[in-house]
Amino acid sequence: MQMRPQIQLQAVIKALSDVVLPAIDPNNKLAIEQGKLSIGLLALLAQQLPNQFRFDCDELARLIATARELVAQAKGGEGTQAAVAALYEATQLAGSTLDTAQASPAEVEAMVRAMRVTSGQLVTEVYRDGEAGCRAGIRDAVLAMSKEQLLRDRSMLLMQGWEPDPKAVPPIASLLDASAR
Amino acid sequence: MTPDKSQPSAAWIAELRARFPTEREIDRVLTRKMQRRAGPGYQPLALETLVDGVRSLLDAELSTPYELRDARWLSGGASKLQMAFTLEWQHPQDGLSCTAMVLRMEPSESIVETSRLREFQLIRAMEGVVPVPPVYWCDSEGDHLPYPALIYGFAPGVTKPSTAASGVSGLGTQLPADLRAKLAPQFVEHLAKIHTAEFRGKGLDAFDIPEVGTTQCAEWGINWWERVWEEDCDEDVPLMRLAAAWLRANLPVLDRAVVVHSDYRLGNFLFTEHDTTITAWLDWELGRIGDRHQDIAWTTSRAFGAMAEDGKTFLTSGLMPEAEFIAAYEKATGLSVNPKTVHWYKVYNDFMMATLSLATGYRTARGSKTHQDVLVTWLIGIGPMLLEEMRSLIEESI
């Protein structure tokens, strides 16, 4: 997926800064102020995006550690006991969620990139000096993988309006749900 | 080791040139792009800077007084900056004239890196063959303007009906049936004239002529675009590697060398609405001397077509069904259309377009190299649709 948020944000900020903002009527103070704020918020978003997941994991780890301490120390009547039980249960769930979130989005993206490169290199080399008998199998595997992946890529970008028959492309959420099952 | 594509080394540039031999002028332009890549991005230019550049060019080209006025920005197109102006001057044939003109200039790096010299020569060569805008001067190295540019005359007409809706670059335009009926015959006739025109002796020295009876034409083409993929891509795509291998394994032999427009479609010609006459063919920058099947494959691409009112009939370039288009073309040219070669060029064209959108589109926007990075970024999104078309075409060939 080449169309990632970072490149989109960079391009939008540049268009707003270089073209749109200078063209606003200098007497329209409200539009100028909101234009600048829009650029500022987009710049903040661009800065936050790469760190947002790790930020949330970091906070969740801290909350879990604190919750365990709270559960251990809290003593009292029915109300307190019920709250301890609820926090204990939430902590167990949060702990297992954090355990399964060990790879960050940046690490997953890096692996996607690496797998794309090394798979592509294999295709090139098989067609250069590989045994002719294995080429059909390599070709079919790449075509089959590409069919599934491109369906998801196209679905992710559906709102741009490139598809001649948009109804033929399922929503991205349903495709990802199907993959997860 | 992965090369740093934002700051390419001289050794890597030399390696790419050796790996992907292509036409001399294409090689020159791509090499220049890579040598300048580490330089600054595009900085917004004042209109006055362009006016000064045009004056410098005119001072070098004209020996009689002139007056330049009414300079203004033009929108349209994803790859070049355009400024309209009026020139009062001594026209070589018409005498004192007031001529509406357009400056077409590259940004720092373009989503389509091409040669202004080739564009200039090809439009000149096509004068009298098909309607083209008059071209006047070329600043092929950016000696006068901030970047390479050419100046051409304003042609009357519109690219789509005033009432029609379409996406960027004229993609997805829907034309009413009566308009299609009048434009389609001209569309075919002009393509036939381009493909049957004599190009030798027309000053096309920025073009190399591929050898008929060999696969050189197709090889130059795939070398061109695979080189650009290597130079520009960020995320690799295994399907692109498979497609490159498939194209090389199935190279077609050139049976006749002709002028190829390379972007022949609805949206790239002007027509006057009062008489529905095509007045100018635009965007010759990707033109080459090559195989007519490249244009036929391009024109019939799904990306440039549209459905008819019945919702079932797919119209080539939004104008006519593909079978009708091919039959009319063969009749007008007397040349046969080889479906296998068209199929190869469809894969080739998708490979080229996917390269432009996914690789060059990303690279230029990432380097802040154009005057409209936001549009270039938007166009990255067409990549998966093009890849799917290419994938289906390769699958069909099995």
Tell me which chain A residues have a C-beta less than 8 angstroms from the C-beta of B373. 10-11, 14-15
For the cut 90, the answer to whether the pLDDT of residue B175 exceeds it is no
> Residue A16: closest CA among chain B residues belongs to which residue?
B374
The DSSP call for residue A118 is H
For the cut 60, the answer to whether the pLDDT of residue B180 exceeds it is yes
The DSSP call for residue A117 is H
Cα–Cα distance between B199 and B205 in angstroms, integer? 11
Per-residue confidence at B170, pLDDT binned at 50, 70, 90?
A: low
Q: What is the pLDDT averaged over residues A140-160?
A: 92
Q: How many CB atoms are closer than 10 A to CB B95?
A: 8
For position B167, what pLDDT does the model report?
Answer: 55
Higher pLDDT, A177 or B200: B200
Tell me which chain A residues have a C-beta less than 8 angstroms from the C-beta of B238. 116, 119-120, 123, 142, 145-146
Question: Cβ separation of A161 and B388 shorter than 8 Å?
Answer: no
For the cut 90, the answer to whether the pLDDT of residue A9 exceeds it is yes
For position A163, what pLDDT does the model report?
Answer: 87
Determine which of A167-176, B14-23, B124-133 has the lowest per-residue pLDDT on average: A167-176
Digit-coded pLDDT (tens) for B288-337: 999 999 999 999 987 788 888 888 899 999 999 999 999 999 999 999 99
Report whether B316 contacts B295 (CB < 8 A). Answer: no
Q: Which residue in the block uniquely carries the two structure tokens 């009112």?
A: B309
What lies within 8 Å, CB to CB, of B87 at 6+ separation is: B58, B66, B67, B68, B97, B98, B99, B101
Tell me which chain B residues have a C-beta less than 8 angstroms from the C-beta of A1. 235
What tokens were used for A172?
Answer: 């991205």
DSSP strand E in chain A: where?
A: none
Three-state DSSP at A80 gives helix
Of B117, B132, B83, B113, nearest to B264 by C-alpha is B132
For position B42, what pLDDT does the model report?
Answer: 86
Cα–Cα distance between B45 and B55 in angstroms, integer? 16
Cα–Cα distance between B171 and A93 in angstroms, integer? 50
pLDDT over 70 percentage in chain A: 99
Question: Cβ separation of A7 and B365 shorter than 8 Å?
Answer: yes
* Residue A172 contacts B, CB cutoff 8 Å: no
Residue B170: left (phi > 0), alpha (psi -120 to 50), or beta?
left
Longest dimension (CA), chain A: 77
For position B310, what pLDDT does the model report?
Answer: 87
Question: Cβ separation of A2 and B380 shorter than 8 Å?
Answer: yes
For the cut 90, the answer to whether the pLDDT of residue A123 exceeds it is yes
For the cut 70, the answer to whether the pLDDT of residue B169 exceeds it is no
Cα–Cα distance between A151 and A170 in angstroms, integer? 8
10 Å CB burial of residue B179 (0-12, 13-18, 19+) is middle
Question: Cβ separation of A116 and B248 shorter than 8 Å?
Answer: no
pLDDT, averaged across chain A: 90
Per-residue confidence at A178, pLDDT binned at 50, 70, 90?
A: confident
Per-residue confidence at A55, pLDDT binned at 50, 70, 90?
A: confident
For position A135, what pLDDT does the model report?
Answer: 92
CA distance A112 to chain B (A): 9
> Residue B393: closest CA among chain A residues belongs to which residue?
A143
Task: Give the CATH architecture of domain B16-396.
Answer: Alpha-Beta Complex (3.90)
For the cut 90, the answer to whether the pLDDT of residue B254 exceeds it is yes
Of A127, A6, A137, nearest to B226 by C-alpha is A127
Mapping DSSP onto H, E and C, the string for chain B reads CCCCCCCCCHHHHHHHHHHCCCCHHHHHHHHHHHHHCCCCCCCCCCHHHHHHHHHHHHHHHCCCCCEEEEEEEECCCCCCEEEEEEEEEEECCCEEEEEEEEEEECCCCCCCCCCHHHHHHHHHHHCCCCCCCCEEEEECCCCCCCCCEEEEECCCCECCCCCCCCCHHHCCCCCCHHHHHHHHHHHHHHHHHHHHCCCCCCCCCCCCCCCCCCCHHHHHHHHHHHHHHHHHCCCCCHHHHHHHHHHHHCCCCCCCCEEECCCCCCCCEEEECCCCEEEEECCCCCCEEECHHHHHHHHCCHHHCEECCCCCCEEECCCEEHHHHHHHHHHHHCCCCCHHHHHHHHHHHHHHHHHHHHHHHHHHHHCCCCCCHHHHHHHHCCHHHHHHHHHHHHHHCC
For position B146, what pLDDT does the model report?
Answer: 92
Tell me which chain A residues have a C-beta less than 8 angstroms from the C-beta of B236. 113, 116-117, 120
Amino acid identity, position B39: G
The DSSP call for residue A25 is -
For position A47, what pLDDT does the model report?
Answer: 85
CA distance A62 to chain B (A): 35
Longest dimension (CA), chain B: 65
What tokens were used for B199?
Answer: 């190009």
Query: Among partner residues A11, A124, A136, which is closest to B365 by beta-carbon distance?
Result: A11
Report whether B210 contacts B292 (CB < 8 A). Answer: no
Query: Among partner residues A11, A127, A151, which is closest to B373 by beta-carbon distance?
Result: A11
Of B53, B65, B78, nearest to B357 by C-alpha is B78
Digit-coded pLDDT (tens) for B42-101: 888 889 999 999 999 999 999 999 999 999 988 766 678 899 999 999 998 899 999 999
For the cut 60, the answer to whether the pLDDT of residue A77 exceeds it is yes
Q: What is the ipTM of this complex?
A: 0.83
What lies within 8 Å, CB to CB, of A105 at 6+ separation is: A53
Residue B262: left (phi > 0), alpha (psi -120 to 50), or beta?
left
Per-residue confidence at A177, pLDDT binned at 50, 70, 90?
A: confident
In a 13 Å sphere around the CA of B47, the CA atoms on its Cβ side amount to 11
Three-state DSSP at A150 gives helix
Cα–Cα distance between A36 and A21 in angstroms, integer? 8
B135, β-bridge pairs: B152
Tell me which chain A residues have a C-beta less than 8 angstroms from the C-beta of B385. 154, 162-163
A&B contacts, CB < 8 Å: 119
For the cut 90, the answer to whether the pLDDT of residue B31 exceeds it is yes
For position B164, what pLDDT does the model report?
Answer: 65
Per-residue confidence at A59, pLDDT binned at 50, 70, 90?
A: confident
Cα–Cα distance between B348 and B265 in angstroms, integer? 17
Of B118, B115, B148, B116, nearest to B289 by C-alpha is B118
Where b means 16+ CB within 10 Å and e means fewer, A22-53 reads eeeeeeeeeeeeebeeebeebeeebeeeeeeb
Higher pLDDT, B129 or A100: B129
Q: Dihedral (C-alpha) A153, A158, A163, A169: value to the nearest 10 degrees?
A: 70
What tokens were used for A60?
Answer: 């969740």
